[in-house]
Structure 1
Amino acid sequence: MESEASLPAEADTVIVGAGIVGCNLAYQLSELGRDDIVVIDQGPMPTTGGSSTHAPGIMFQTTEHKILTKFAGYSREVYSRLEGQDGEQAYNRVGGIEVARSDERMDYLRRRVEWAESWGIPDPQILSPEEVKEKLPLVDSDQIQGGYYSPSDGQVSGVVACDALAREAMENGATFVPHTRTEDIEIKDGNVREVVTENGTITCEDIVVATNIWARQLGEKIGVHLPVVPVEHQYTVTESLEELSDNQVDISNHPLFENYHNVSGDKAKRLLIGPDRPILRDQDNAMYFRTHGDAYGIGSYNHESLVPDPEELGGNDPNGEQGSIHEFTEYHMNNATHPDRQEKAPRQASNELLPATDGADLDYKYNGMYSTAPNGLPVLGPVEGYNGLWTAMGSWVTHAGGVGKAVAEWMVNGVPRLDDERIDLAHADVNRFDAHEGSWDFARDLGAEEYRMIYSIVHPKWVWTDNQRDIRRTPMYHTHKEYGAELWAEAGWEEPQWFESNTDLLTEYADRIPERGDWEGKYWSPIEGAETLNVRENVGLHDMTSFNKMEVVGSSAGEFLQYLCTNDMDLDVGDITYTLMCNQAGGVRADITVTRTDDDRYLLLTTGREVGNNHVAWVREHSPEDIVVNDVTSDLAAMICTGPNARKVLSEIATTDLSDEEFPFYTSQQFFVKNVPVTALRLSFAGELGWELYTPSEYGETLWNHILEAGEEYDIRPYGNGALNALRIEKGFRLWGDDLHTEHNPYEAGLGWAVDLNTEFIGKDAVAAAANGDNIEHKVACLTLDDEDTTVLSHRPIFDGDEPIGYVHSAEYGYTVGACVVYTYLPPEYAEPGTEVEILYEGTRYDATVREEPLLE
């Protein structure tokens, strides 16, 4: 497909970027009925010159990230349906093998099997070294301990796929315009108006930025600071190898060869050839491999991070220079420059694993670019404050099919879906980022950090330690440091996980805190358990400043919140209610507490971390013009004093009566704590007697210290997020983004009591159907492990016999109930209390039983 279309004057939808993401999105939008679609790109088509052009196209589907694995699986299905111009299926289903050279990596590969079972990747297998060699004869089996084999993994040429997707989209009415550089986007009154290109302007309703490595430059032009950065990695193709001499392929007669060759030069002779055997990854050395006829391709992430300045990338040169490719740096192939892999150079690692490559010349070699974002996930969805502006970036060939489908469903039907099933994209939402993440300094350093961690064995609790720390400090930061807080970065906040000052509590509670194994014991301290038990039996103080806080203000604020929320919002001043926000399909968009603080003013409290910003964007997106939505997260310090002695502590210093009669549960009052003004809410995410206290940030440290001083006679202790998670899970409180998200409706989540069907709200029709028993495919289930000394982590599969029936959404040891508590969603017949199941964790099956919730009243 070499489109010669000229730029039209107007269109409903303009997609900027005709790489693998843009082509997938155009195809999916056209399949959903949109026909007035224009796709523009600075390069020729289908070989645009971006990363889709030079990528080797390997597709390993399995990761711990559910959305990435689901995206990859859907992409495989899409590419398998496509036919290239040569009449062959676009997807090469040759299987994928990841090998281990260490005990630690072998354990990691077993985890990959468990993630594959959780996410539905078919037939995952662990192979012995000999079995790896049977499938990949050139591998030296003496170098490895085994491998992970996914039979449905494979490879797709980005150029072949882009061509096939574009042809399908054009048959449905889409237009592709090559050789057209986008220069700006015109915004008026918060609405997109037109795309400005070097060849003219095009008026439109929706614009999707799908430019990946060039995304940041375009965003900066309109004041949207996207933390998407280009990073370089190396790819080479050997000369012809004698060991592959029976696999010589002449690709010059391929219908796309001339187009590909014009942009990529002679390496098109190799890149257009699909592999004839499983693709291969040596993650211990950050390398991957695939055949190109009688040559081997060698990809390396095994070098120091190379993050070019987007402003210096330029575009694709008319003379054939690709903006997505930099000159190959021999030094990075022949020297050990990766900070975590100093043992051997990439070329040495390749020669050890594939001896046939030893001494072979490298005929084609380049530093290719792809894009990455701070948490390594795509950047998708509608941009807050810019009606009609969408993003679809930070994605590779592996995941682009799923990204295209999810974003297309989002644009047309209001909810992301794959295979007619909702998929939660909170962690990939474009609005998840905080202000500091848009700076080039932060984006560059975190892009480099994400690159460094590719192919590393990353623990789910890992946080970066070297770059971009101490950015956001709660007012209690210095006090936390004095108490020996273990600080982790959460959305830029430095948050305590536990406090070393509480080590002495282990003397009292050690016998109730089981030891943990090597993997689940990483980034964990028994102090978390001691802090948990101290709160249950005494009193604790927790800093919750980072939880997102909004004020909704206006004469019609109550009516607006009624439209937004599932519960009855007819509140008196001082009343609090727990409610949900749902999307149009009835999925839980957020759980929040709403406090009416004045006649026309409400305080909304919701999840923190990176997903909290999505909720702020959602509220603003739906607010009418006469409503003001203020994000007051940074304006207010927040803390919770909770535990059986909480009333005694606060009564020492509060200027109000804290008795049940004068300060009932789920009400709010404003008063002073000594000399500090507070807004106090009688509720507790820890599930014990307690008050959440809010004060302007400048008073936060003073308030914190007042409470600690008043609590000395009651042995009050600060406690961190580790203890809070253990406290909340025992009480059955959901944590949005973990065991509560848009893939489930309120009745599946066991939160039907937070729905009032006598009110009108977003998603009511779907929620009402669920209330009548429709759309209930899974139900929340609370499990405890039968082995009281074992703790598991999330994302592991749950079985009935050999049948996977769900996965662990969240898990933490319940120090009060004396067992590990797991929250999951199971088919309704399995969610009944007393049902016995098994959880596969670190290669061992553990018996677990469904329990009545909550475990603690």
Structure 2
Amino acid sequence: MSNVPDQARVVIVGGGVIGCSVAYHLTKLGWKDVVLLERKQLTSGTTWHAAGLIAQLRATANMTKLAKYSQELYGNLEAETGVATGFKRCGSITVALTDERREEIFRQASMARAFGVEVEEISPAEVKAKYEHLNIDDVKAGVWLPLDGQGDPANIALALAKGARNRGARVIERTKVTGMSKQGRKITGVDWVAEDGESGHIKADMVVNCGGMWGHELGRMAGVNVPLHACEHFYIVTEAIPGLTQMPVLRVPDECAYYKEDAGKYLLGAFEPNSKPWGMNGIPDNFEFDQLPEDFDHFEPILEAACERIPMLAEAGIHTFFNGPESFTPDDAYHLGLAPEMDNVWVAAGFNSIGIQSAGGAGMALAQWMDEGQKPFDLGDVDISRMQPFQGNKHYLFERSKETLGLLYADHFPYRQKATARGVRRTPFHHHLLEQGAVMGEIAGWERANWFANEGQKAEYEYSWKRQNWFENSAAEHRAIRENVGMYDMSSFGKIRVEGPDAEVFLNYVGGGDYSVPVGKIVYTQFLNSRAGIEADVTVTRLSETAYLVVTPAATRLADQTWMERHTGDFRVVITDVTAGEGVLAVMGPNSRALLERVSPNDFSNAVNPFGTAQEIELGMGLARVHRVTYVGELGWEIYVSSDMAGHAFDTLHAAGQDMGLKLCGMHMMDSCRLEKGFRHFGHDITCEDHVLEAGLGFAVKTSKPDFIGRDAVLAKKEAGLNARMVQFRLKDPEPLLYHNEPIVRDGEIVGYLSSGSYGHTLGAAIGMGYVPCKGETLDQLLGSSFEIEVAGVRFAAEAQTRPWYDPKGERAKA
């Protein structure tokens, strides 16, 4: 007889390392009635064959925090549960074979220091001293992380499961979830069938999808989108090699290879550039501790390079040639959090071959989120709400997964664009821009012009850590915006209509600004959480007495709409995504008014259309609505045109601007211009864990309103004082480039890192911004310090101020 209960507080579906971690951490927080269902046996999907590399450094501070937590957890699990995890800190070395890769790993080392990770840049000779078996003939440099480690993946998962059981969780194997019952936006329970044929139903308050490569299929069962696809992942294990002792984990990303010594044998694995998707027609029902057919031809180039890199491999016999599936997501970041489509379905899946090092921290973070009802800290990198609905398309996932596995070890150049599964979402101006030399980037599936090639110039990226081939193109676009007039496509930005008799009072509750404004007024504002962290950064335009338009970043439209929907309560409002209904052209620069006056009989003066207002206009032979706002700090308008008239609007504006020197511009220009103005970028400079006052956005919060989310936390911070301030930096040396995550050095000590960086073409040097701790200090004390920014291990003197470098009083936008 089965021991499946009739009801549970939470049902976790999937018994790999992440499912076991979620169960472990929920019970650690005191949760009872935790049930984990595993279709076969614990770890039998992908966990059992993971390589077990456990690194600390990830691409962002919070992802690094989670990886470090995983390490500490695994180090202590054995003492707690009695299950050996095999965890040992053997250190890791990453080597560079090219100058570009050297720059990358040295920048990563600087970033590691900012994140509190112990790290050391080492010469080829020092690499050899730490890794005697390595051929260093063409090694340029290395990075040594002494606290990195390795472990036994299956036993780590089993230890987590035991810890969960010890605190009362029910971990039930050989029991498959076959369906879910729904009521509105909630799952009320799950259907299950055991291998012996018994079946039943569990009522559940919550469900967590930890289904790994089954996560996509499980998501559809629950009515949620979990975009991921399985790929074949190859490694070999040698026969025992005489004299081989414990070695650090070794990564040679330029050869797509990683090496792990285990019990006197070598494990050699690969993240090859062109991977092999698997399971397009579903995963066999009997899949358990299975491996896929060998493909030696596919792996042979990796092995040949490895035998040159570590000559002793050429003499070693191959004990195991392994091919097993791993799940990969469209952007190589895992999925975590509350699914946007449902109010009690959580996701922890799609770990892109870093599941072991991620699972401890991810399980901890998700459990805290579930327990408290809000994110414990910023998880935007992995929040499932970043995924767009179309990204669940199976053909899209198949095409994108060919690339994502290899991107783990590809050069992580700044601005690198995905090459596969492109062209899915196009703005109404797409073909107009391509005809004019646009070079497209992609975000949330949208194709966006990032820069424009000159006549005769190849319209594609040439990547580098130095100045890329578009640097001067973007500089010219930047100058056009500052000195004359430029036009760029903003159609991809999310547009959400909020309408109904309670639209005004609802927005006044959910947002920090004051929306009791006349029709046509535009309010720049944030949606705050209860801690006054920033959940969304938007503009809100009042269209009528009962309707508003909320404009959001392209990547967060779904998350921002979901945030509003979850707070509607009894408010009589309807919330609708209308993004595709209108094209948007931004016309910006000192001569933008003159251009608009050429194409429209309407009045664009300060008297009729002052900054922060919208008006309906005639444009050419059509109609449009213009919003006088700016993200680049100049006089300008965002022109909203219904999609059917968008082409006409583009042709009319473009033709009218030819003798004025109108320049088409891209997103790289927008980023450099907004940084000169100190405008924040959501997801980088402002997140759910950044207090709106410390972000320098107190001006957008109206505490005179009686009740809005986050009001108490805003008032408390005003009383207590700031712990950190957002500071603007400009390098004194015009040569180095800043991207983000470079350490901020104050009086010789690392105190933080840049949240954003770019080149200030008007200012003649790289610029950035980031938070600097300042508890108990005056602004003068903070700015009286000496500041440097560290770039790839070298520190460069920087000027610092809290005001924007460019037009600090904001006079140009109001001209």
Question: What TM-score bracket applies, with the shorter chain setting the length?
Answer: over 0.9
Partner of 1:176: 171
* C-alpha distance in structure 2 between counterparts of 1:77 and 1:538, whole Å: 56
**After superposition, where does 1:569-608 map in structure 2 within 5 Å?**
569-608=515-554
* Identity across matched positions, percent: 31
Q: Matched residue of 1:99: which SS?
A: strand
| 1:397 partner amino acid | I
Partner of 1:271: none
CA shift for structure 1 position 226? 2.3
Segment drifting more, 517-526 vs 145-154: 517-526
CA shift for structure 1 position 766? 2.4
1:212–1:67: structure 2 CA closer, same or farther, 3 Å change rule?
A: farther
- 1:496 aligned onto 2:492: no
- 1:854 aligned onto 2:808: no
- 1:322 aligned onto 2:322: no
| 8 A Cα contact 1:834 1:851, kept in partner | no
Partner of 1:293: 263
**After superposition, where does 1:269-348 map in structure 2 within 5 Å?**
276-302=246-272, 304-317=274-287, 321-323=288-290, 325-334=291-300, 345-348=301-304
* C-alpha distance in structure 2 between counterparts of 1:5 and 1:293, whole Å: 40
* C-alpha distance in structure 2 between counterparts of 1:762 and 1:14, whole Å: 31
1:598–1:315: structure 2 CA closer, same or farther, 3 Å change rule?
A: same
CA shift for structure 1 position 555? 0.7
CA shift for structure 1 position 167? 2.1
**After superposition, where does 1:464-543 map in structure 2 within 5 Å?**
464-465=418-419, 467-501=420-454, 519-522=465-468, 524-543=470-489
* C-alpha distance in structure 2 between counterparts of 1:677 and 1:482, whole Å: 24
Partner of 1:623: 568
| 8 A Cα contact 1:230 1:308, kept in partner | yes
Partner of 2:340: 384
Partner of 1:743: 689
CA shift for structure 1 position 700? 1.1
| 8 A Cα contact 1:231 1:308, kept in partner | yes
CA shift for structure 1 position 794? 1.4
1:785–1:308: structure 2 CA closer, same or farther, 3 Å change rule?
A: same
* C-alpha distance in structure 1 between counterparts of 2:138 and 2:675, whole Å: 44
**After superposition, where does 1:21-170 map in structure 2 within 5 Å?**
21-45=18-42, 48-83=43-78, 91-122=87-118, 124-142=119-137, 144-170=139-165
Cα deviation, 1:445-464, whole Å, max 9, x if unaligned, reads 11111112221112120002
* C-alpha distance in structure 2 between counterparts of 1:701 and 1:834, whole Å: 53
| 8 A Cα contact 1:835 1:849, kept in partner | no
CA shift for structure 1 position 113? 0.8
* C-alpha distance in structure 2 between counterparts of 1:311 and 1:33, whole Å: 40
Cα deviation, 1:45-67, whole Å, max 9, x if unaligned, reads 4xx31211111211123233444
Q: Matched residue of 1:585: which SS?
A: coil
Partner of 1:215: 215
| 1:292 partner amino acid | D
**After superposition, where does 1:376-775 map in structure 2 within 5 Å?**
376-395=332-351, 396-417=355-376, 422=377, 424-465=378-419, 467-501=420-454, 519-522=465-468, 524-608=470-554, 610-624=555-569, 626-759=572-705, 760-773=707-720
CA shift for structure 1 position 481? 1.7
| 8 A Cα contact 1:462 1:523, kept in partner | no
Segment drifting more, 64-73 vs 653-662: 64-73
CA shift for structure 1 position 852? 4.0
| 8 A Cα contact 2:187 2:206, kept in partner | yes
1:602–1:243: structure 2 CA closer, same or farther, 3 Å change rule?
A: same
| 8 A Cα contact 1:63 1:115, kept in partner | no
| 2:757 partner amino acid | A
Cα deviation, 1:760-802, whole Å, max 9, x if unaligned, reads 222233232222235x432100011112344322121122355
Partner of 1:833: 783
| 8 A Cα contact 2:533 2:687, kept in partner | yes
* C-alpha distance in structure 2 between counterparts of 1:352 and 1:543, whole Å: 50
| 1:839 partner amino acid | I
CA shift for structure 1 position 222? 4.1
Structure 2: state its 5+ residue gaps: 194-198, 811-815
| 8 A Cα contact 2:83 2:159, kept in partner | no
| 8 A Cα contact 2:756 2:770, kept in partner | yes
Using structure 2 for the length normalisation, give the TM-score. 0.92
| 8 A Cα contact 1:502 1:531, kept in partner | no
Q: Matched residue of 1:559: which SS?
A: helix
* C-alpha distance in structure 2 between counterparts of 1:634 and 1:408, whole Å: 36
1:815–1:202: structure 2 CA closer, same or farther, 3 Å change rule?
A: same
CA shift for structure 1 position 371? 1.2
- 1:354 aligned onto 2:310: yes
CA shift for structure 1 position 844? 2.3
CA RMSD in angstroms comes to 2.3
Runs of 4+ in 1 over 4 A off after TM superposition: 84-90, 501-504
* C-alpha distance in structure 2 between counterparts of 1:781 and 1:830, whole Å: 13
Q: Matched residue of 1:688: which SS?
A: coil
CA shift for structure 1 position 754? 1.0
CA shift for structure 1 position 229? 0.8
Partner of 2:813: none
Q: Matched residue of 2:754: which SS?
A: strand
Cα deviation, 1:117-149, whole Å, max 9, x if unaligned, reads 122212x01233343343333333446344211
1:773–1:653: structure 2 CA closer, same or farther, 3 Å change rule?
A: same
Cα deviation, 1:603-623, whole Å, max 9, x if unaligned, reads 001212x33332222222222
- 1:6 aligned onto 2:3: yes
* C-alpha distance in structure 2 between counterparts of 1:729 and 1:104, whole Å: 26
How many pairs align?
788
CA shift for structure 1 position 715? 2.2
CA shift for structure 1 position 543? 0.9
| 8 A Cα contact 1:637 1:697, kept in partner | yes
| 8 A Cα contact 2:746 2:785, kept in partner | no
| 1:618 partner amino acid | W
* C-alpha distance in structure 2 between counterparts of 1:103 and 1:481, whole Å: 33
* C-alpha distance in structure 1 between counterparts of 2:370 and 2:53, whole Å: 29
| 2:350 partner amino acid | G
Structure 1: state its 5+ residue gaps: 248-275, 335-344, 505-515
Q: Matched residue of 2:692: which SS?
A: coil
* C-alpha distance in structure 2 between counterparts of 1:501 and 1:126, whole Å: 40
Using structure 1 for the length normalisation, give the TM-score. 0.88
- 1:196 aligned onto 2:146: no
| 8 A Cα contact 2:109 2:793, kept in partner | no
